[in-house]
Amino acid sequence: MEHHADYTNVTGLSKKETLEHILTSYEALVTDNWVSNLSNCSSLLWHGYHSLNIPVNWTGFYLKQDNNGKRELVLGPFQGKVACQVIQWGKGVCGTAAATSKTQLVSNVNEFPGHIACDGETKSEIVVPIVKDDGEVVAIIDLDCLELNAFDEEDVIYLEKLAKLISKCL
């Protein structure tokens, strides 16, 4: 790649190829700094999905923090509109993924009990926990979309692989 931005210039790839491109680009760009890694990763996700005409309106991360002994998720690097800064562990789609350590594939956010609407335009969502080798959930990946049913099992497979790679820097 001649320029860093070239990693985001994906066109004409299948969904599988695009998701593979996101993984290989993450690995090519990875540093020992999690802020840089998550920032570039949110850009790779944003541009990758848009290249597939999947209108994601938010791609980013929440990270675990301890608030006087209480676990919660704090807003991390992202692409998209302003979002809520803190999510309680176990609340909303993000908090559920964190508390259960299970990917949440939500085809219609209005049917998810307790969904937190940071943006009223969001229709579907996928949240993938980032889990350390010892089983601790340290962060989550969150993708929101303006269309219903935007994500499927293929997204689950690749985003869980991405989460595994990211877990190494957190």
Smallest separation, CB 27 to ligand SME (Å): 25
16 or 114: whose CB is closer to ligand SME?
A: 114
Q: Does 83 bind ligand SME (CB under 6 A)?
A: yes
Query: Which of 93, 126, 143, 162 forms a contact with ligand SME (CB under 6 A)?
Result: 93
The residue within the footprint of ligand SME, chosen from 58, 61, 151, 158 (CB under 6 A), is: 58
Q: Determine phi and psi for 90, rounding to 5 degrees.
A: 95, -10
Of 7-26, which residues contact ligand SME (CB under 6 A)?
none
**Residue reference for tokens 């559920």:** 96
Sequence-ordered strand ranges (E) for the chain = 56-67, 70-80, 86-88, 104-106, 124-131, 137-145
**d(C-alpha 64, C-alpha 139), whole Å:** 5
Count helices and strands in the chain by DSSP H and E runs: 4, 6
Interface with ligand SME includes 74 (CB under 6 A)? no
Sign of CA dihedral 147, 57, 98, 139: positive
Q: What residues between 111 and 150 interact with ligand SME by CB under 6 A?
A: 115-116, 118, 122, 125, 142, 144
The residue behind tokens 């790649």 is 1
Q: Which stretches of the chain bind ligand SME, using CB under 6 A?
A: 58, 83, 87, 92-95, 115-116, 118, 122, 125, 142, 144
